[in-house]
Structure 1
Amino acid sequence: MGKTNVRMLVIASVFTAMILLTVMFPFLRILNEYAHIGDGVIYLACVILPAPYAILAASAGAALADIFLGAMLPWAPMSLVIKGLMAYTMCRLAGGKQAGPWRMVLGLLLASFINVAGYFLGSWLVYGLGAAAAGIPLNLIQSAVAAALYLALQKLVRRTAGKYVK
């Protein structure tokens, strides 16, 4: 394994831990749903990391948080897929050093759609249509907060990452 791969694995591991922590400590909990800032950290991982590493960090961090939270254990497989798809979307559209504003906005909108639709479908399967519909506003709030966090910090992360990621 080359020096670059080890560096990417280390950075991905740090992001996995940050995602785990920012998902585990939600700022808003309503019934069986909770909102957190972990999605914003997932988006920031996509600024620095190549897609496979960002997807790994997003999927592992979110799924592990669901497992460690105990009550969210049934959501771990769904989070693994949903957060991985969100990271893939952001990496493809807004990752790398030179993502234009329209690509960032499109990436955020599509990743938010994946988040809301994915958890809607999961809630529908687990709790029924009424509960799934009731979770939409909270998932929209979570997506908006994640987008704001990303937009506020992505320039700083891009500039700082240049020192460590070649």
Structure 2
Amino acid sequence: YLAACLLPAPYAIFAGSVGGAMADILSGSAVWALPTLIIKALNTLPFIFALKYLKKKENDNRIITKEMIIMSVVSGIITIVGYWLAEGILFGFAVSTIGTVLRGFIQPGCSAILFVCVGTVLDRAKFKSLIYRV
């Protein structure tokens, strides 16, 4: 979520998707690398949309805004549905049950909480103003 808020769109998509896919490969879950590549790329789109179309002030250098919190929820929904579909395609939809969806809330939920915590700390340090000053 932070990469999507801090990096230009193509770099955010690349960082999120390739980083997630590499993590799957390196952790021994290579079967999930392609779905992760796609899902993580889609995860950045709500943030890119919000930064482009919903930003209230041009000089607002905060990471954590109401819009970004809403987009973290939208991104979480993309994650849950994406992995449910991927599991259904890979292993059959009989295996991909509602339990899978319920377990699917853990990763995006923790990601959203971490995003808000770290983003708030970075906002207090005026991080976005510092990196875009160059």
**In structure 1, what is the equivalent of residue 20 of structure 2?**
62
Q: Does 1:163 align with 2:120?
A: no
Asked if residue 129 in structure 1 is aligned to residue 86 in structure 2, the reply is no
Aligned to 2:130, the other structure's residue is in SS state coil
User: 1:41-98: per-residue Cα shift (whole Å, max 9, x none)?
Assistant: xx1112211111111100110011111122x112111111100110122232258835
Counterpart of 1:80?
A: 37
Q: Look up the match of 2:56.
A: none
Amino acid in the other structure paired with 1:149: L
Q: Output the amino acid matched with 2:33.
A: A
| Structure 2 unaligned blocks of 5 or more | 53-59
TM-align CA RMSD: 2.1
Query: Residue 129 of structure 1 aligns to a residue in which SS?
Result: coil
- Which 5+ residue runs of structure 1 have no aligned equivalent? 1-42
Aligned length: 123
The counterpart of 1:107, out of the listed 66, 71, 83, is 71
Q: 1:154 to 1:94 in 2, by over 3 A?
A: farther
